[in-house]
Structures are given as C-alpha cells and as structure tokens.
Amino acid sequence: MRVLGIEGTAWCASAALYDDATDETTIESDAYEPESGGIHPREAAEHMHEAIPEVVGMVLDEARATHDGDGPAIDAVAFSQGPGLGPCLRTVGTAARALSQTLDVPLVGVNHMVAHLEVGRHQSGFDSPVCLNASGANAHLLGYRNGRYRVLGETMDTGVGNAIDKFTRHVGWSHPGGPKVEAHAKDGEFCEMPYVVKGMDFSFSGIMSAAKQVYDDGESVENVCFGLQEHIFGMLTEVAERALSLTGSDELVLGGGVGQNARLREMLETMCDERGASFYAPDPRFLRDNAGMIALLGAKMANAGDTIAVEDSAVNPDYRPDQVPVTWRGATEDVHVSPEAGETVRGAEAVVSFEDDTVVKRRVPKSYRHPELDETLRRDRTVLEARLTSQARREGVPTPVVRDVDTAEASITFAFVGDLDLREHCTESGVRDVGRHLAAIHDAGFVHGDPTTRNVRVAAGSDGADNGAEPGRTYLIDFGLGYHTDHVEDYAMDLHVFDQSLVGTADDPEPLREAVREAYRAASGQADTVLARLEAVEGRGRYQS
C-alpha cells in the first residue's frame, strides 16, 4: 500500500509518500520560521495555505514517477487530524479531503502524537514500548493497554519545547529556541533550579520563571542553558524510568522534535542501559514534525480498515492520544511479577532487597543526572520517605515500619508488608482503601507524591501471614516524592496520579476510578473542594496545542 500523508499541525508544512511493500518514505517539508518571537497562529496558517499545495505536489509527482503497475499511484490519503493549531489543521484537512475525492481513494485521520509513537515502534521493531513524546506543545508518556494508548504521565502546564522557548524569547533569541539552548549549554556549568516531578507528571512553569530570574540576576546564559537541560531532561528521564517500572516494559521509544537534543537522548540511553532496557530514537527527520510518520500510521490504519468518511473528517485541535481506538495492533501480555523473599528488584529509582521480614531500599546513583542534582535528590527523598512513612502510620494509614535510615547511603530498612502489588490484585475494595488512605494524609497536610498501583501493597493471602496482617489489608509505600502542603491542587494531583496508574495497569479501570472517588468523598473533610479541583485538572487538556 502506498499512502500520501499530509502534516501541518503548527509550523511545518509537510507531505510524504510511504510504501509499506518497501518500507521506504519520501518526505518534502517547508517549515515556517517567524522573524521574531514564537509561532504566530495567523502567520503559521498563511504559511500552510501557501506551502501545503507545493509539498503535496512534489510528493504526488514522486508517486507517479515511481509507480509501477496498473493500480493507482496512491492507495490512501492520511492527514494530521490533531492536536494542533486550528487554522493550520483546517488547511491540511481541506487539502486531504480534496485529494482523497479527486483520486477516489480512502481518507485516514491520524493523531499526530500517536504517529510520533508509532514511527518509533515500527522502526525499532519493539513489541509494546513506553513512549516519551517530547515536542513543542506536548510532553507526555504513553503506554498501550486494552486497545488504546494510555497517558501514564504528562506535563502539568506546558509542552517541553514551548517551555524552553519561553526562556529563549526572554533573552531575545528567535524560534526555535531548543537548538540554541543546546549549543550554549556546551560551554556552561551547573546551576540549581526547581525540579518538579509528581508521580509520572511533571511541571516546567517554576523552572522557566527561575531561569529568567537567574539570567536577569547576572548568571551567564551558558550556565542557565546548562542548568535548564540538566533539570528538564532529568525530569523527563526520571518519569520515563518510572513508567517502565510501572508497566513492566523494557522498551522505550522517543518521539517529538525536542528528542533531537543530544543530551536528552544521552540521558535516556544511559537510564535504559543501567536498567537493562532497550532504547530507540528515530532519525531526526522522523522526530521533528513530518508527514512521514503520518503516512506510515495512515498505512497501518488503512490496512486495518480504519478509514473515515469526508463528513466525519473534521479536525480536532484538542485530539488526545488516549481518544484513539488502536485498531492496527493486537493485545500484549502483562509482565508484572511480584518479588519474593531473597530477591533483589530494581525499581524506578532504587534497588530493593527482599528478605523474610525486612525490605532494604537503596536509592542508587543515577549517572544520567548531574552529580550535584542527583546527590540532592537521593538524600532529600530518603529523608522525606522515612518521615512521611512514619507520619502516615501515625494518621492511621497502614505503612511499613521504618527500622533504620542511612542518609549517607540513601537507604532505608522497612518491615516487609503485603504479598503483592495492587496492580497484580486490583480490586474495588483495594482501591477504596487507597481513597481512604489518601484522604487521611491529605487531611493531615501532606501528599504521597507517587501513589500508583505499584506503590500500594496488598496482603492477599488467606493464612494471615504477613507480619500478622489480616488478609486484604492495603499498605501505602514509597513516600519519597511526598511533601507537606496545604494546597488543594497538590491533593488533587495525588488523586490524578493514582487515577492514571489505574488506567495504565487495570483491565477495567472505570469502576475502580469511581470507587476511589467515592471512598475519598466519604473519608475526607475537604473532599468536595479536592474533587472539584481534580475535575478541573482532568479537564485542562494539557497535552493539546
């Protein structure tokens, strides 16, 4: 099948021809370059209007010139249906509809962010990887489960490329700012900035404000650029490792234009090497916005019969990747295995040794992070985990007893609790317990920080063994990302992190998601306010353009 793909979500007008018989792709692109500042939607749309016919014409000529046979030179037309800037998307959609009708071939609407994932999965040969999408307007982690790509983690404010551009505009540099930051960082030294990770979610607003202030206070632009990269890419690498740990996957692919940054790729590759996972970053022409990935996924969808009628082809600027039914691939098996006594397990940030009645958790150095940043995070998280684990226990929340803390080694010794992780025994009663536990610690003025189904242990055995715990008892563990706070947004984010982990690991997450809310509503004195904020968090559409 030969598919013509058209891309135009924001700044790059692009057309491509993909032939699935030869696995070859021809791409023609014309990128919009603003004279100053960032992307101006009106100017970008005008660029699309002028450039799309030209790049499509070049690819059509290529398709006809290389066509061999009696059939059509093009078997389907695929286009980026969203997310993106509405005026740009509408130009692309109009061109795709006209071409589909003129050639009398099927029309395929492609989600731009899923295409970033699929081109990496296709080229790498991976089965079911986690994908880190790092582009201008987007930043999120995707994992496949039950026929959809689930959002495991995402930015709480803005896309990673847009965040970097906010700083570069502040210092007077033109778009795109990412390559300029990368170039200046080569001559810089480390400077401390905010580092914000909440479960597998992350935030860039604080670090952008700090970078502007540090620069205005006289820090060299080279040092600020170095610090920006070390913190932002360190956050992305950490959450990517956490997603691998949660899902049990040992494959990671990178997508998005920011993925062209050598330091980000270096961090991700180092992290994967250290945990025995495989990493793949596509060629730069498939990382930045391009029609090749649109044509490739369009071919997969067309082969699966996933085409659309013209009347159903409206573009969607807010098209989330988890809204896409994945019709072109089969199911995958879970690989979750609960640890046993005598075993050592590598988690997202620690090595955990299990004995008969104790667990020793040691936060190992992360060589992908700058040594100063890594030492600070390991020390601070170890102290917080020990304190908050004990404080939660005083609030009536089942947690492991802390037996020893060694800050020099960044290690904690706990009493062993639970028979298995909640993700392996995800019941309604278990998630209701989590709702009540989170209500208790929130009412006490702190958050867990990373309440996923991996960080809840369940005593599921029928013999009562588990240091005397009754069967079915549910424990919260791993408070290393927790902190004291009285902000409603922080409490809502705790619930959001748990909700995302249910979607990413449970076979039927919907009743479980509602059960958590019901239990929280019944147990918390501030439930109405927190749940209203949770609804607002989920409705922001943060991974849209």
Beta-bridged to residue 200, according to DSSP, are none
Query: Could you give the C-alpha distances from 195 to 178, 203, 234, 276, in angstroms and in order?
Result: 19, 8, 9, 26
Nearest-CA neighbor of 452 among 270, 273, 269, 244?
Answer: 244
- Scanning 125-258, the segments in alpha helix (DSSP H) are 160-170, 178-185, 205-216, 221-247
Vertex 39: Cα angle to 36 and 41 (nearest 5): 125
Contact yes or no for 326/144 (Cβ under 8 A):
yes
Q: Is 450 a catalytic residue?
A: yes
Contact yes or no for 28/16 (Cβ under 8 A):
yes
Contact yes or no for 72/214 (Cβ under 8 A):
no
Residue of 421, 450, 478, 494 marked active site: 450
Beta-bridged to residue 484, according to DSSP, are 446
Distance, in Å, from the CA atom of 486 to the CA atom of 480, rounded to the nearest integer, reads 18
Q: What stretch of H or E contains 512?
A: helix 509-523
**Greatest CA separation found in the chain?**
77
Give residue 79's Cα distance to chain centre. 23
Buried b (16+ CB within 10 A) or exposed e, 83-111: bbbbbbbbbbbbbbbebbeebebbbbbbb
Query: Could you give the C-alpha distances from 235 to 126, 368, 442, 500, in angstroms and in order?
Result: 24, 11, 25, 18
Dihedral sign of CA atoms 194, 198, 204, 205 in order: negative
Contact yes or no for 414/359 (Cβ under 8 A):
yes
Residues annotated catalytic, as ranges: 450
